[in-house]
Amino acid sequence: MNTQEKSAPVILITGASGGLAQEIIRQLPRESQLILQGRSRQKLEELYSDLPQVAFFQLDIRDAQAIETFVADIYQTYGRIDYLINNAGFGEFKDFDRFSNDTIQEMFDVNTLATLHFSRLVGQKMAEAGRGHMIMIASMAGLIASSKSSIYSATKFAVIGFSNALRLELADKNVFVTTVNPGPIRTHFFDQADPSGDYLKSVARFTLEPEDVARRIVKIMGTNKRELNMPFMLKLAAKCYTLFPRISDFLARKVFSYK
């Protein structure tokens, strides 16, 4: 992490009770001023009450007006946000015709729209300040679609597209935008996404440990890194997906259809 700030960096993390977020927070400098958002304040307090500079906020990020009020209050209190880590998200893997309207709406509200709202509001302030770094926790599923990930992939494709455009708009403002596209991570994310455990078993050789992903994220904080894709084999697969889409579709359908 780039620690050239004259004072402790102010870091806002959404979905802060998630497994990856826990590892990121554990590896951040202790002097960081952390602003942690989650669905349950009690859960956040249980996880992080020992940290020296931390504030907890329970917020329904499906509510765009609530996000706007929250961000305004943060700037009123702290004056700035140096790093925004958009980590909140969830997924379900099943046939496209088994999703309910409510589930589809909620997945886009949490995975996509909340990220867009936080980023445009914080991005505007960072542009005015002439510095800042936004990190979007997307997914390899946003680069390579696979069977039974239709809705989740769509939410992450949207995040990556938005981030790529936002990066261009903020390039002259000294504000960095990085998309992080990991493959499956061994966290409680899959308790909901894959209750049977069959998916994780089938992709065991690609599964990442949260501490390793967190280490790489913390390392690039404050640097103008465009994207972070992992593991290497899926990074290579994403390149092939772009260069040879028809062959990649065949492989994704016949060979990599694990779920």
Residue 148 has a pLDDT of 82
| Dihedral class, residue 177 (left if φ above 0, else alpha if ψ from -120 to 50, else beta) | beta
What are residue 144's phi and psi, to 5 degrees? -130, 105
What per-residue confidence (pLDDT) applies to 192?
Answer: 65
Q: Could you say which of 75, 78, 83, 152 is catalytic?
A: 152
State the amino acid at position 170 in one-letter form: L
HSE, side-chain direction, 13 A CA sphere, residue 102: 0
Burial zone of 145 (CB within 10 Å; 0-12 exposed, 13-18 middle, 19+ buried) = middle
Spatial distance between the Cα atoms of 87 and 244, rounded to a whole number of angstroms: 31
Cβ atoms 36, 54 nearer than 8 A:
yes
Reported in sequence order, the residue ranges of the chain that DSSP labels E, i.e. its strands, are 10-13, 33-38, 54-58, 83-86, 132-137, 175-182, 227-230
* Per-residue model confidence (pLDDT) at position 255: 47
- Please give the Cα distance from 48 to 34 (Å, whole number): 10
Per-residue pLDDT tens, the chain, 259 aa: give them: 765 456 899 999 999 999 999 999 999 999 999 999 999 999 999 999 999 999 999 999 999 999 999 999 999 999 999 999 999 999 988 889 999 999 999 999 999 999 999 999 999 999 999 999 999 999 998 998 877 889 999 999 999 999 999 999 999 999 999 999 998 888 776 666 566 666 556 555 678 999 999 999 999 999 999 999 987 677 777 776 676 666 556 555 554 554 4
Catalytic-residue membership of 83: no
- Separation of alpha carbons 249 and 258, rounded Å: 14
Q: What is the structure's pLDDT at 93?
A: 84
Question: What is the residue extent of each domain of the chain?
Answer: 10-254
pLDDT the model gives residue 259: 44
- Neighbouring C-beta atoms of residue 8, cutoff 10 Å: 16
- Crossing angle between the packed helical segments 150-170 and 114-129, to the nearest 10 degrees: 10
For residue 54, give the nearest of 38, 34, 81 by alpha carbon.
Answer: 34
Q: For the domain with range 10-254, which CATH number is right: 3.40.50.720, 3.30.300.20, 1.10.3720.10, 3.90.580.10? A: 3.40.50.720
Nearest alpha carbon to residue 88 among 66, 118, 65: 118
